[in-house]
């Protein structure tokens, strides 16, 4: 029987998908937080606007970034670091809104990592064409805590490899509201984002926003 075009077909993707030992995708996990989350983010990025950081190799990143929390991740020609001060404003980063803390802790808990209390939330902004090359998140002192990564806006292809740079990454579509959590045996797995496809999101327009929460120390 042909499906009725107007019937709710629903999300065929599983709500929870284990992609490696210690790594899980939680589809739509953000939905109950969304109404509070988006306005809270707007306040943060007004106080600490997005900027394109320069890598230690001298390249301007295609992804624009900012942070909230007691420290923020920054890159400049001298290297990568966590800094309590936003170098653009000379002021501390905006505080991490309570709704973000709750969302990150709940997602970590759901993925099997209880008591997650991140100090840093890196906020990435991708416009079509922007990408993030394969890398490890290893500027933190504490690898015991997972990385919690929230996707908003346009869909992206998330690349998730292994412990070695040469491990061929698998590709996962991340949509608005999806969460990826990786920790334990996959905490140092290489990951990245393929060039963002053109599009227009009903709520956020022509961009993808990604939040990654890290316990730094
Ligand atoms: C990151 O690795 O920092 C971001 C990943 C993503 O944008 O999904
Ligand atoms: Fe990362």
User: Does 4 fall in a domain?
Assistant: no
User: Does 102 fall in a domain?
Assistant: yes
CATH number at residue 118: 2.60.120.590
What pLDDT is stored for residue 37 in this prediction?
98
What pLDDT is stored for residue 3 in this prediction?
47
- Within a 13 Å sphere around the CA of 164, how many CA atoms are in the beta-carbon half? 3
Ligand 1, residue 151: give the atom nearest the CA. Answer: 8
Alpha-helical (H) ranges within 69-124 are 98-110
Ligand 1, residue 63: give the atom nearest the CA. Answer: 7
User: Does 199 fall in a domain?
Assistant: yes
What pLDDT is stored for residue 13 in this prediction?
85
Q: Is the dihedral of CA 32, 35, 41, 44 positive or negative?
A: negative
Using DSSP's 3-state secondary structure scheme, residue 50 falls into: coil
Tokens representing 63 are 């992804």
Domain that holds residue 105: 16-214
Domain count for the chain, please give it: 1
Radius of gyration, alpha carbons of the chain = 17
Residues 6+ apart with CB under 8 A from 120: 67, 69, 70, 71, 72, 73, 82, 213, 214, 216
Q: Residue 131 Cα, ligand 1 centroid: separation in angstroms? A: 9
Residues with CB under 6 A from ligand 1: 122, 124, 132, 149, 158, 191, 193, 210, 212
201 marked as binding residue: no
- Report the chain (217 residues): mean pLDDT per 10 consecutive residues: 52 89 98 97 98 97 98 97 98 98 98 98 98 96 96 98 97 98 98 98 98 97
User: Does 85 fall in a domain?
Assistant: yes
What pLDDT is stored for residue 14 in this prediction?
87
Residue 203 to residue 36: CA distance in whole angstroms: 14
Three-class secondary structure assignment of 170-215: EEEEECCCCEEEECHHHCCCCEEECCCCCCCECCCECCEEEEEEEC
User: Does 174 fall in a domain?
Assistant: yes
Residues 6+ apart with CB under 8 A from 157: 171, 172, 173, 174, 193, 194
């Amino acid at each position: 029987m042909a499906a009725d075009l107007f019937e709710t077909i629903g999300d065929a993707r599983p709500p929870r998908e284990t992609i490696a030992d210690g790594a899980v995708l939680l589809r739509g996990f953000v939905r109950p937080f969304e109404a509070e989350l988006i306005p809270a983010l707007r306040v943060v990025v007004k106080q600490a606007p997005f900027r394109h950081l320069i890598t230690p190799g001298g390249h301007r990143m295609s992804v624009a970034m900012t942070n909230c929390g007691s420290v923020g991740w920054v890159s400049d020609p001298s290297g990568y670091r966590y800094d309590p001060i936003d170098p653009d404003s000379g002021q501390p980063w905006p505080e991490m809104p309570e709704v973000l803390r709750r969302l990150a802790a709940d997602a970590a808990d759901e993925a099997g990592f209880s008591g997650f209390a991140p100090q840093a939330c890196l906020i990435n902004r991708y416009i079509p064409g922007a990408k993030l090359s394969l890398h490890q998140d290893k500027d933190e002192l504490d690898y015991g805590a997972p990385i919690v990564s929230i996707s908003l806006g346009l869909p992206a292809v998330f690349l998730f490899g292994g412990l070695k740079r040469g491990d061929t990454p698998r590709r996962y579509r991340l949509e608005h509201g999806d969460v990826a959590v990786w920790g334990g045996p996959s905490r140092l797995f290489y990951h990245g984002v393929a060039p963002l496809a053109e599009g227009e999101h009903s709520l956020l327009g022509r961009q993808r926003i990604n939040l990654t929460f890290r316990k730094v120390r």
